[in-house]
Structure 1
Amino acid sequence: MGEELFAPEELFPRERAEIAPGAVHLPDWLGPQDQRELLAACRAWARPPAGLRTVRTPGGGTMSARQVCLGWHWYPYAYASTVVDGDGAPVKPMPRRLSELGRRAVADAYGTSPEQVEEYDIALINFYGGDSRMGMHRDAEERSPAPVVSLSLGDTCLFRFGNTHSRGRPFRDVPLRSGDLFVFGGPSRLAHHGVPKVLPGTAPPGLGLDGRLNITLRVGGLGP
């Protein structure tokens, strides 16, 4: 399959952008083969036990995006070593390749060396269907201030990146396509963010994914 069928040539190539202090968007960071391999891995991780689940909030609602966790299991609003809000199975381990991918992502975003970046030990993988959304929230359950790494596969989404004080304005909407990297740390580490819209049918034809996968990598600092 030709690369041009996977990622049509841009008239004006998208470039690295700093969305806010410490928040960096790197378009097309993952190449076509990297995306295919990561998608295949996500499908394996999504199988039970400790597989893809619907997340229920304390108020009785459900998130429209479904989730599977690696390394530590996230549930509203804490971490556990087992799927306490699902089948109770031990959470799947964090793969070394994902941890290394997180370190390389931060190094590329900030222009540093991967050896200077902490080891990533948590992955939250969210699957979005065409009608899925994610409300404005902060990633605040980790004890480490290390940057959050976000990788996109499949359909394009509108990613809303806001401020640290409230869920409202000011915020900026950034289209994230398949293969895009978004890193936020430093003064933006606790910024509110969400996904108000997914654009169905926009995934690369060569990927073989209907919907959107978001792989979020974090450093927990949670101890043994």
Structure 2
Amino acid sequence: MTLEIELRGARVRYGPLEALHGVRLPVPAGALTVLIGRNGSGRTTALRALAGTVPLCAGRVLWRGADVTGLHAHERARRGMCFVPDLRAVYDTLTVAENLGLAAPDGDFARALDGYPALRPLLARRAGTLSGGEQRMLAVSRALLSPARVLLLDEPAQGLSPAVAARTYELLRALDAAVVVAEQRLPPGLGNGRTPVLVHELRRGSVAFSGESAELAAE
């Protein structure tokens, strides 16, 4: 298994509180990795540590073996990272088409619109006027259009119907990139594909389980 990116001994503090306690989190290349855990478990913090939006107080971030701990989020983005946060993931004052254009300057939105046909009639609408589910589809579309090598998504299926949520994970698994998502629980049906899904369960800032989705289901 070739690692694309990894947290190694990562510690993150918010003031006097430590949110991650020496976490090791390997992310294989070209596969889907799921971080699960209850609110407060550290899953979102781990995702942000990979993205560079929160600093480490100890440990390292390794990307293809290179230490990128000191790189800011925008520098990691230039190297091929795309981060879709759980909140404020779209530009409210821009239209749907303008939001998509930030990820695909050539104007080729086919992958996004084929994945989410409901966005097609909304291209001229301002993103801030969309429903929560429509905004989520738009935010995930940024990842679908991105040429990034590492895609980080916090609760990509939030606010989506079960059918659209399942479709979202089909689209993410089909990408030729290291995809990391954070969810409260393992999305249904992820263990049915040919490619194994790696799962890390976090509890109170530490990794309680690491393995394939089938192993977690067996537990």
Fold agreement, TM-score > 0.5: no
Q: What's the TM-score once normalised by structure 1's chain length? A: 0.28
Q: What's the TM-score once normalised by structure 2's chain length? A: 0.28
Higher relative contact order (CA 8 A, sep 6+): 2
